[in-house]
Chains A and B, each alone.
Chain A
Amino acid sequence: DAKTTQPNSMESNEEEPVHLPCNHSTISGTDYIHWYRQLPSQGPEYVIHGLTSNVNNRMASLAIAEDRKSSTLILHRATLRDAAVYYCILPNAGKSTFGDGTTLTVKP
């Protein structure tokens, strides 16, 4: 399975943009890039996914590098409710490898 690498932790100030990076240098041509986030005592929540083109939805934007070996999740204005662990994964058929994600702290 293709693996992803994320920083262990990041900090942001409230109402500022946040860019969460993910490296996936062994990505294959058919791998989609998915992002999830997990709040304490809850299951992961889907955020966004993409294949090649940048994607936007009401929660976030996903910027995918031209060579697809990295991607960035962009939260345009962080709120305290965005504090969570963020996971970047490359689902492979049924199996998904989550890793330990990036813990985002949002300071008021």
Chain B
Amino acid sequence: GAGVSQSPRYKVAKRGQDVALRCDPISGHVSLFWYQQALGQGPEFLTYFQNEAQLDKSGLPSDRFFAERPEGSVSTLKIQRTQQEDSAVYLCASSHLGTLNQPQHFGDGTRLSIL
């Protein structure tokens, strides 16, 4: 069945370039989450949407990071003026409703490398 799809799977960019990472959640899932995972560490929360509303963006590390979900389905995470410390795996997850009693379904992530 169709799970959470992320693209591209790998992205290499030069420092200072802008990048856009796409997430296609499971159809009908209301909630969507972005995480950043550094090598050897657990996922770190970035931001959370319920439909098109961004309810929590407290984990975004700087104002260079921006996420949107304009029609309440597909989401894009944009990073402007990339820095080497932005190199990580970016994970997207979706759930049917909220998180308390609903599992999150994760994509396999986008591995971003900044040269």
Contact = CB atoms under 8 A, between A and B. Distances in A.
B109 A49 contact: no
A36 B33 CA distance: 15
B45 A96 contact: yes
Nearest to A46: B103
Contact of B45 (A34, A36, A97): A97
B91 interface: yes
Nearest to A48: B103
Interface stretch (A16-24, A37-45, A61-69, A71-79): A37-45
Contacts, number: 68
Contact of A42 (B50, B59, B103, B108): B108
B48 A95 contact: yes
A94 B108 contact: no
A91 B33 CA distance: 12
Given A43-B93, A43-B106, A99 B99 contact: no
Interface of B: 4, 31, 33, 35, 40-45, 48, 50, 55-56, 58-59, 91, 93, 98-101, 103-109
Interface of A: 30-32, 34, 36, 41-46, 49, 51, 85, 87, 91-101
